[in-house]
Structure 1
Amino acid sequence: MQPETPLRPDSAPAPGGVPDPGGLPEVGRPPAELLAELARHRAGDLPVRGGRVTAYVYDTGRAEVHDLAARAYQELLEVNCLDPTAFPSIVALERQVVAAVAGRLGGGADTPGIFTAGGTESIMLAVKAARDARPVDGRARIVLPASAHPAFHKAAHYLGMEAVAVPVDPETFRADPAATRAALTPRTVLVVASAPSYPHGVIDPVEEIAALAAEAGVPCHVDACVGGWVLPWLREGGRDVPPFDLSVPGVTSLSCDLHKYGYAPKGASVVLFADEAARRRAYFASAGWPGYTVINATVQSSRSAGPLAAAWATLNALGARGYRDLAAEAMGAAERLAAGVADIPGLRVLGAPDAPLVAVASSDPGLDVFTVADEARTRGWFFQPQLSFQGIPANLHFTLTGVSRDRVEPLLAALAESAAAARRSGPPDVPEGLADALAGLDLDGLDDAGFAGLLGTVGVDLDGGAPEMAVVNAVLDVLPPETRERLLIRFLAVLYSPHR
């Protein structure tokens, strides 16, 4: 007897012998087969452990902590945060998590906060609270440094507001208080500072910015999404960290991601408020329908309590000593990386990072950082490219974590080898006139299949695994931000297109 061949999702018949249009099997597939298929799909993913990916993932190097978090996540996977009266466990866990974060970020046990799915959601709620606290004539405005996270622009877009970005200091990359003050108008409802900014790892002058915001009667939000759970531990470890949290007069809200240097699984973030009224303005309630009572603390309604449980477990498993050690290890790794970059011809570090985030640019016209990134990818490393902006050169971003303590020397070796190879090959060969053609392209008149063909002409094979991106990044780098955005949206649409 031949063994039964499991039905493939794309060929499963529905009743009557007609293939299912969505590829859903008529008869459920065996668990082992499905898990094996998941493993095949993941074969092309970047590794989430080991320190070879210098963005997106945060690794303690302590497998037992991550395993515990996964178990805690599963324990509350099916608990729905939509109704805390139905599942009181989420109230108990969230209160503990918020209190722990507030206690290290200038607040206390009575500081109000919200557990969210990530930094973007935390920022969205802080922006909503500020908008609702200060009604103005016309479109409300957010004033923020050019280095602030795009989540603020996203929040402004979603909430019908205007984001006004002011230039940062061209040498330190920190926000300019004078430029911030000059940008304030009667329509300004929120001023933003970063601690630190993601691109270069530097802390904005929070005290000055919060003071000028308070003088104008405007709330001030500190985006500490990336640094909020590493800076306090660096300070406790004896490092000089400038004031940045709720203890600073004028700071009215602060966001801190626990799935970054809190090392919890995604998505886990906390937004703190200086007073209870501000938190209430972040909430949403609707009684204008005949269904169940709708009261939401976050942008989402139904959401799993798994991330909350995992964050709670991670915080308690590592404890204060664990976080102090991890912060010291990550910052030590960042400093060793910066020192090592100085010995690689043609590369330099931008600014003086206050957190374990390092941006590396080229000081040699013949050495292209986008080509360096492609060369590193062939050597099993991922270095995150960052495009040039307002005079800040294109660079490679490195997020160092606890696991990086033992990975700096291999990282530097890979960076040096990649730089040498990139110098030999030279900058990417961008077809003449391509950037101008893209800038003038009628994207609205081009369907996804046509845009996919256009990508193919510059060497982007969406079905061929990790693409070589140096040419693409080089083209994007010379285009204005608005054109970059239009092209990136089209790229994402093609990537997920059902017609590929």
Structure 2
Amino acid sequence: MTPEHALPEHGRPAADVLADLARLREADLPVRGGRVTAYVYDTGRAAVHDLAAAAQLEMLEVNCLDPTAFPSIVALERRVVAAVAGRLGGGPATPGIFTSGGTESIMLAVKSARDARPVDGRPQLVLPVTAHPAFHKAAHYLGLETVPVPVDPVTFRAGPEAVRAALTPRTALVVASAPSYPQGVVDPVPEIAAVAAEAGVPCHVDACVGGWVLPWLRETGRAVPPFDLSVPGVTSISCDLHKYGYAPKGASVVLYADEALRRHAYFASAEWPGYPVINATVQSSRSAGPLAAAWATLNAVGARGYRDLAATAMRCADALVAGVAGIPGLRVLGEPAVPLVAVASDDPALDVFVLADRARARGWFFQAQPSHRGVPASLHFTLTGVTDIDALLEALAGAAADARAAGPPDVPADLVDALATMDLDAVGDADFAALLAGVGVDPAGGGDPEMAVVNAILDALPPETREALLVRFLAALYSGAA
């Protein structure tokens, strides 16, 4: 370890440490201003962010491990859960759990369903191909088998009959999305939940991204399809407050239709001589800071604020949909019900992965989405209340013109074939990093990487090979000296 990376013998001045953090963040994407159309959610209201930070600091060292030691966490969680339930078809007594994010909420929903209704053999999770990978992760961790069902190639919504055909005696849970992240469309929740209920199977609605924007859009007069706990057959629903709730990461809630199902999410262990362990979440020790920050944000924004933010974001989404229609070669996938828009190309000369690189050169981040099971490759846009839609459309049109002039990425066919058959376990992290460098990607380079070739390679490979390559990329990214 080099001297500059060694732990100092004596504590460093706070100003020096913070200056180091600022330097490390220089290559990060900006978290304010709306030029990053994924990952971040910005109200544009500095006072809200400042209050959330202060609330998080106030509860930073409070440990959610033992609610009897820190009763404040019980009071705060009850308030947050009740606030969310009140907008998602429940009420003050609706059971729920505050979690660190959508993946943890989904993990608990899957665990609850698995444990509440044991089946003979390996349990199955029936889900649309557009469902979030967190369900695949939950199935992997919890020992379930995933059964993906196709979606309509035009609307990208799951079909109840396809769900019905996928059900077996081993089905533990059926999933619907409100909306699915890739295209921002809402699955027909009442129909899917009815199919699940008819078979006696729980149904979870993934409203992680839409749960805290759909209710407010409905209150502004926009048509919103039924999707929450008020729908017969829906047994649980997840909603992230660190998305359109604009709370700091990580803040999510999973709600249950009944108390018994929530109890199956809990974990208790007395198989040791130490203190009795009872966990409501996957984590044990965890800071109450995010819980306090979420509660503070909800109160600071208020109902009117959320209605205004939702309406503004949706107007931006509508404007993006209309604007894309005027850019040759581009089209919107489906009809977004929330401020999430997917843009694809119907012109072979206009590659969306190259477009994303050209947009980044213009100071914008458009998230690339590879093709999958008939769903074309696209760019994803999450719009918020601070999105400058005119500037975004100008950047999109300009980047599209640049991408058309540049042409599709040059991907050697033999490279794709080699990666598809390569024994990745035989390649060390350093050698894999060198392979990445050969296609122009430095895992630790930062800055504005050119990703079109990499995305095109991934797009040409089957999902299981993509997954293996992504694992190796992550390993290479975190390998080597600090």
TM-score class, shorter-chain normalisation, is: over 0.9
- The residue type paired with residue 435 of structure 1 is V
Equivalent positions of 1:276-355 (< 5 A) are 276-355=259-338
- The residue type paired with residue 418 of structure 2 is A
- The residue type paired with residue 330 of structure 2 is L
| Partner SS for 1:254 | strand
Q: Sort the Cα spacing of 1:267 and 1:313 in 2 relative to 1 into closer, same or farther, 3 A.
A: same
Q: TM-score, normalised by structure 2?
A: 0.99
Residue matched to 1:469: 451
Residue matched to 1:372: 355
Aligned counterpart in structure 2 of residue 446 of structure 1, from 421, 424, 427? 427
CA contact (8 A) 1:59 1:403 kept: yes
Aligned counterpart in structure 2 of residue 247 of structure 1, from 230, 236, 239? 230
Distance in 2 of aligned mates of 1:360 and 1:36? 39
Q: 2:475 aligned with 1:483, yes or no?
A: no
Aligned counterpart in structure 1 of residue 32 of structure 2, from 40, 43, 49? 49
Q: 2:117 aligned with 1:134, yes or no?
A: yes
Aligned counterpart in structure 1 of residue 167 of structure 2, from 184, 191, 196? 184
CA contact (8 A) 1:147 1:199 kept: yes
The Cα of 1:431 is off from its aligned counterpart by: 2.1
| Partner SS for 2:237 | strand
Q: 2:20 aligned with 1:37, yes or no?
A: yes
CA contact (8 A) 1:139 1:187 kept: yes
Structure 1 segments unaligned to the other structure (5+ residues): 1-8, 13-21
Distance in 1 of aligned mates of 2:291 and 2:119? 36
Equivalent positions of 1:351-430 (< 5 A) are 351-404=334-387, 407-430=388-411
- The residue type paired with residue 264 of structure 2 is R
Residue by residue over 1:61-114, the C-alpha shift from the partner in whole angstroms, topping out at 9 and shown as x without a partner, is: 111111111111111011100011111110000000000000000000010000
Distance in 2 of aligned mates of 1:80 and 1:201? 36
Residue by residue over 1:119-138, the C-alpha shift from the partner in whole angstroms, topping out at 9 and shown as x without a partner, is: 00000000000000111111
Aligned residue-pair number: 481
Structure 2 segments unaligned to the other structure (5+ residues): none
Q: 2:66 aligned with 1:95, yes or no?
A: no
Aligned counterpart in structure 2 of residue 459 of structure 1, from 436, 440, 445? 440
Distance in 2 of aligned mates of 1:201 and 1:338? 12
- The residue type paired with residue 477 of structure 1 is D
- The residue type paired with residue 393 of structure 2 is L
CA contact (8 A) 1:193 1:209 kept: yes
CA contact (8 A) 1:449 1:499 kept: no
Distance in 2 of aligned mates of 1:53 and 1:443? 33
- The answer to which of 50-59 and 465-474 deviates more is 465-474
- The residue type paired with residue 105 of structure 1 is L
CA contact (8 A) 2:444 2:477 kept: no
- The residue type paired with residue 157 of structure 2 is R
Residue matched to 1:17: none
Distance in 2 of aligned mates of 1:72 and 1:369? 41
Residue matched to 1:113: 96
Distance in 1 of aligned mates of 2:2 and 2:42? 36
| Partner SS for 1:285 | strand
Residue by residue over 1:315-356, the C-alpha shift from the partner in whole angstroms, topping out at 9 and shown as x without a partner, is: 011111111111000001100011011111111100000000
Distance in 1 of aligned mates of 2:287 and 2:459? 39
The Cα of 1:464 is off from its aligned counterpart by: 3.0
Distance in 2 of aligned mates of 1:353 and 1:316? 28
- The residue type paired with residue 118 of structure 1 is G
CA contact (8 A) 1:143 1:192 kept: yes
The Cα of 1:498 is off from its aligned counterpart by: 2.8
Distance in 2 of aligned mates of 1:204 and 1:65? 33
Residue matched to 1:492: 474
Residue by residue over 1:36-81, the C-alpha shift from the partner in whole angstroms, topping out at 9 and shown as x without a partner, is: 0000000000000000000000011111111111111111011100
Larger Rg: 1
Q: 2:181 aligned with 1:198, yes or no?
A: yes
Distance in 1 of aligned mates of 2:3 and 2:131? 48
Q: TM-score, normalised by structure 1?
A: 0.95
The Cα of 1:499 is off from its aligned counterpart by: 5.1
| Partner SS for 1:403 | coil
CA contact (8 A) 1:10 1:24 kept: no
The Cα of 1:24 is off from its aligned counterpart by: 1.2
The Cα of 1:26 is off from its aligned counterpart by: 1.4
CA contact (8 A) 2:443 2:473 kept: no
Distance in 2 of aligned mates of 1:361 and 1:319? 36
Distance in 2 of aligned mates of 1:150 and 1:454? 27
Aligned counterpart in structure 1 of residue 203 of structure 2, from 205, 220, 228? 220
Residue by residue over 1:251-295, the C-alpha shift from the partner in whole angstroms, topping out at 9 and shown as x without a partner, is: 000000000000000000000000000000000000110111210
Distance in 2 of aligned mates of 1:200 and 1:99? 29
Residue matched to 1:10: 2
Q: 2:240 aligned with 1:257, yes or no?
A: yes
Distance in 2 of aligned mates of 1:324 and 1:215? 36
Q: 2:249 aligned with 1:266, yes or no?
A: yes
Residue by residue over 1:222-257, the C-alpha shift from the partner in whole angstroms, topping out at 9 and shown as x without a partner, is: 000000000000001101101000000000000000
Residue matched to 1:16: none
CA contact (8 A) 1:113 1:272 kept: yes
CA contact (8 A) 2:342 2:379 kept: yes
